């Protein structure tokens, strides 16, 4: 029996997708609700031979259907995902513990990712090269064509089980690359719903395949497979950079973690800043790669900001992700919860003060605010990936920028200030792939170039940018005259 919970749609596919259809389910891997700990479903685990079989099928799709057909599939899939939004949202609430309202937003964003990818399929084109602008090029015309790179191995994390898989699969289809998806072992079910929508939308069976299982074993087999020239990875820093080192000759696109800083200047609208930080530091229990984690407030406004934040945090509804009122659900597993509580204890012993939360409510960590964090503390230097925000004060703009830049991460940062000149100057000096002014940096629209500097990654994602990464310029030169 593959479906265990009667909260899950009985038609939910649970088999691996290798070749043309979903395989018969078996009971290898338990998918558990992070909120109740109960088994929701059991799914099969792939082995290295399944990865070989998937690559053999993908090879048959190396000459993809025309771009217009791929665009239609992507447009139809966007429509189907939108129609099935509630099914997706419930599955995400069950397997990822994502509160329903936030899961619905993710579905809407997934629709956007497919829609923008369809646009890329329709507009994918190379350049005309002005050959006669050099003496050696006289008498020739030349152009480039964007050719698909080949089979893409897509490895995705648990925290956005639809949209982060979509950011790999939909651009791959737009680019004409057969794709093998390895979703996180905690959240395989949402990926299967996406695959089902694509098959229903008319994607040639075998163009997308889905394999699950242990990251090192199944992900590793995909990474090392000699016929997979590109790995597109979203996940944690150690895993991502280890993949990069393992296959130096492959194209490896990395979207990794962050320790998101926000600077709140003395002239900021404090009520607005507090509202946005409280909402986004704890949304999906802080398990977004751009959850606000470190707040640096000017000395003159720090106390007031702390009070406003603590007040808002105490009013957040914590509970069952399937409950409509819930704002903060559980973290993904007890291991993550226990790591976070030990970090809070360690930082408290090092001098941080707990202004909100800090303890368990039942089995789950309360939304926590730590004051007086330093760059040596866990919350000041590592990626928390949980409902924990730290705050500290700064004296000068230089100090604020230096503190924000003081970690190895560089994905997104935020600034709250009413001074436009300062905001632009600081945005230039913050070493991050994106800087968000007067809105939370826990923000992404799916067409934007999104990706980190420093150890947070090596590419920008977003359909336009990802299609570019998944294609290569093929230069054609034609001699037209002596
Ligand atoms: P993770 O690194 O544990 O796992 C990510 C994926 O990699 C999973 O599918 C996993 O099975 C696979 N994997 C694990 N070991 C592997 C190996 N040796 N070889 C190949 N694949 C392997 O990450 P997670 O816990 O699922 O996700 C959380 C992390 O992802 C956080 O660090 C977060 O910041 C990051 N993240 C980044 C972005 C971004 O766009 N930059 C977005 C979301 C999450």
Token pair in block for residue 457: 């990654």
Do 125 and 213 belong together in one domain?
yes
Q: Tell me, yes or no, whether 1 lies in a domain.
A: no
Q: Tell me, yes or no, whether 382 lies in a domain.
A: yes
Helix (H) or strand (E) holding 140: strand 140-148
Residues 6+ apart with CB under 8 A from 55: 151, 180, 225, 227, 228
Parallel/antiparallel/unpaired status of strands 21-22 and 17-18? antiparallel
Residue 481, pLDDT > 80, answer no
91, 230, 253, 270 from 247: Cα distances, Å: 34, 10, 12, 47
Task: Give the count of beta carbons closer than 10 Å to the beta carbon of residue 324.
Answer: 9
Residue 168 belongs to domain with CATH number = 3.40.605.10
Q: From the alpha carbon of 255, which atom of ligand 1 is closest?
A: 41
Q: Tell me, yes or no, whether 412 lies in a domain.
A: yes
Of these residues, 106, 255, 455, 468, which one is catalytic? 255
pLDDT tens for 420-471 read 999 999 999 999 999 999 999 999 999 999 999 999 999 999 999 999 999 9
Of these residues, 289, 366, 455, 461, which one is catalytic? 289
Do 115 and 179 belong together in one domain?
yes
Q: From the alpha carbon of 239, which atom of ligand 1 is closest?
A: 2
Do 171 and 205 belong together in one domain?
yes
Q: Tell me, yes or no, whether 2 lies in a domain.
A: no
Do 341 and 233 belong together in one domain?
no
pLDDT tens for 288-338 read 999 999 999 999 999 999 999 999 999 999 999 999 999 999 999 999 999
pLDDT tens for 348-384 read 999 999 999 999 999 999 999 999 999 999 999 999 9
Q: Tell me, yes or no, whether 10 lies in a domain.
A: no
Instruction: Assign 154 a pLDDT band (cuts: 50, 70, 90).
Output: very high
Nearest CA residue ID for atom 18, ligand 1: 216
Instruction: Assign 5 a pLDDT band (cuts: 50, 70, 90).
Output: confident
Q: Tell me, yes or no, whether 479 lies in a domain.
A: no
Residue 382 belongs to domain with CATH number = 3.40.309.10
User: Which one of 236, 244, 288, 433 would you pick to mutate in the ligand 1 pocket, going by the greatest count of ligand atoms within 8 A of its CB?
Assistant: 236
Alpha-carbon span 390 to 369, nearest angstrom: 6
Output the pLDDT for position 44: 87
Beta strands in 276-387 (DSSP E): 292-298, 353-356, 360-361, 364-365, 368-371
Nearest CA residue ID for atom 43, ligand 1: 289
Q: Rounded to the nearest whole angstrom, what is the distance from the C-alpha of residue 215 to the centroid of ligand 1?
A: 9
Cβ distance 274 to 428 under 8 Å?
A: no
Q: Rounded to the nearest whole angstrom, what is the distance from the C-alpha of residue 114 to the centroid of ligand 1?
A: 22
Question: HSE of 404 in the Cβ direction (CA atoms, 13 Å)?
Answer: 33
Q: Is 229 helix (H, G, I), strand (E, B) or coil?
A: coil
Output the pLDDT for position 7: 87
0.95 exceeded by pTM: yes
Question: HSE of 50 in the Cβ direction (CA atoms, 13 Å)?
Answer: 22
Q: From the alpha carbon of 167, which atom of ligand 1 is closest?
A: 40
Strand order in the sheet with 388-394: 353-356, 368-371, 388-394, 292-298, 260-264, 412-416, 434-437
How many domains does the chain contain in total?
2
Residue 189, pLDDT > 50, answer yes
Do 192 and 268 belong together in one domain?
no
Instruction: Assign 27 a pLDDT band (cuts: 50, 70, 90).
Output: low
Q: Is 359 helix (H, G, I), strand (E, B) or coil?
A: coil
Q: Tell me, yes or no, whether 367 lies in a domain.
A: yes
Q: Is 461 helix (H, G, I), strand (E, B) or coil?
A: strand
Do 284 and 408 belong together in one domain?
yes
Output the pLDDT for position 14: 84
Q: Which domain holds residue 106?
A: 16-256+457-474
Output the pLDDT for position 26: 63
177 carries an active-site annotation: no
Q: Rounded to the nearest whole angstrom, what is the distance from the C-alpha of residue 136 to the centroid of ligand 1?
A: 48
Do 300 and 385 belong together in one domain?
yes
224 carries an active-site annotation: no
DSSP per-residue codes, 93-134: HHHH---HHHHHHHHHHHHHHHHHHHHHHHH----EE-GGGS
Residue 21, pLDDT > 80, answer no
Residue 128, pLDDT > 80, answer yes
Nearest CA residue ID for atom 35, ligand 1: 235
Nearest CA residue ID for atom 30, ligand 1: 235
Nearest CA residue ID for atom 20, ligand 1: 219
Do 92 and 225 belong together in one domain?
yes
Q: Tell me, yes or no, whether 480 lies in a domain.
A: no
Do 252 and 303 belong together in one domain?
no
State what percent of residues in the chain have pLDDT above 70. Answer: 99
Do 225 and 360 belong together in one domain?
no
Nearest CA residue ID for atom 14, ligand 1: 215
Q: Rounded to the nearest whole angstrom, what is the distance from the C-alpha of residue 238 to the centroid of ligand 1?
A: 9
Q: Rounded to the nearest whole angstrom, what is the distance from the C-alpha of residue 239 to the centroid of ligand 1?
A: 7
Q: Helix and strand tally (H, E) in the chain?
A: 15, 21
Q: From the alpha carbon of 411, which atom of ligand 1 is closest?
A: 41
User: Which one of 181, 215, 228, 413 would you pick to mutate in the ligand 1 pocket, going by the greatest count of ligand atoms within 8 A of its CB?
Assistant: 215
As for ligand 1, residues whose beta carbon falls within 6 Å of it are: 155-160, 164, 182-185, 215-216, 219-220, 223, 234-236, 239, 243, 255-258, 289, 383, 385, 411, 452, 457
Q: What angle do CA 23, 24, 26 make, to 5 degrees?
A: 115
Do 305 and 426 belong together in one domain?
yes
Q: Rounded to the nearest whole angstrom, what is the distance from the C-alpha of residue 378 to the centroid of ligand 1?
A: 20
Q: From the alpha carbon of 243, which atom of ligand 1 is closest?
A: 19
Do 222 and 265 belong together in one domain?
no
């Amino acid at each position: 029996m593959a479906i265990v919970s009667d909260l899950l749609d009985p038609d939910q596919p649970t088999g691996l997708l290798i070749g043309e259809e979903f395989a018969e389910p078996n009971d290898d891997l338990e998918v558990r609700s992070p909120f109740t700990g109960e088994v929701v479903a059991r799914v099969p685990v792939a082995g290295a031979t399944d990865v070989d079989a998937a690559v053999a099928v993908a090879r048959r799709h190396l000459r993809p259907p025309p771009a217009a057909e791929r665009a239609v599939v992507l447009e139809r899939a966007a429509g189907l995902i939108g129609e099935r939004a509630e099914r997706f949202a419930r599955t995400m609430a069950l397997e990822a513990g994502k509160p329903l309202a936030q899961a619905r937003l993710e579905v809407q964003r997934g629709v956007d990712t497919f829609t923008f990818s369809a646009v890329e399929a329709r507009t994918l084109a190379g350049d005309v090269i002005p050959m006669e602008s050099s003496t050696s090029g006289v008498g020739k015309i030349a152009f480039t064509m964007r050719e698909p790179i080949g089979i893409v191995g897509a490895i995705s994390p648990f925290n956005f089980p639809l949209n982060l898989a979509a950011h790999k699969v939909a651009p791959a289809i737009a680019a004409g690359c057969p794709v093998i998806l390895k979703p996180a072992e905690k959240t395989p079910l949402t990926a299967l719903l996406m695959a089902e929508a694509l098959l229903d939308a008319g994607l040639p069976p075998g163009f997308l395949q889905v394999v699950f299982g242990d990251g090192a074993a199944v992900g590793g087999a995909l990474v090392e497979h000699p016929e997979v020239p590109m790995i597109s990875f979203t996940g944690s820093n150690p895993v991502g950079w280890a993949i990069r080192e393992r296959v130096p000759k492959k194209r490896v696109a990395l979207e990794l973690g962050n320790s998101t800083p926000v600077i709140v200047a003395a002239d900021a609208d404090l009520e607005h800043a507090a509202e946005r930080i409280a909402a986004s530091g704890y949304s999906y229990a802080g398990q977004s790669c751009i959850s606000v984690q470190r707040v640096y407030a000017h000395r003159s406004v720090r106390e007031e900001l702390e009070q406003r934040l603590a007040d808002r945090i105490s009013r957040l509804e914590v509970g069952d992700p399937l409950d409509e009122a819930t704002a903060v659900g559980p973290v993904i597993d007890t291991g993550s919860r226990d790591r976070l509580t030990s970090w809070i204890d360690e930082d408290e012993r090092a001098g941080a003060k707990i202004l909100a939360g800090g303890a368990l409510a039942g089995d789950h960590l309360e939304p926590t605010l730590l004051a007086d964090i330093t760059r040596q503390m866990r919350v000041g230097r590592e990626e928390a990936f949980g409902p924990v925000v730290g705050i500290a004060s700064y004296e000068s703009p230089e100090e604020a920028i230096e503190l924000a830049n003081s970690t190895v991460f560089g994905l997104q940062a935020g600034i709250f200030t009413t001074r436009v000149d300062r905001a632009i100057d600081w945005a230039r000096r913050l070493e991050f792939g994106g800087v968000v002014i007067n809105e939370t940096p826990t923000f992404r629209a799916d067409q934007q170039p999104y990706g980190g500097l420093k150890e947070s990654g090596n590419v920008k994602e977003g359909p336009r940018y990802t299609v570019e990464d998944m294609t290569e310029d093929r230069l054609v030169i034609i001699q037209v005259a002596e």
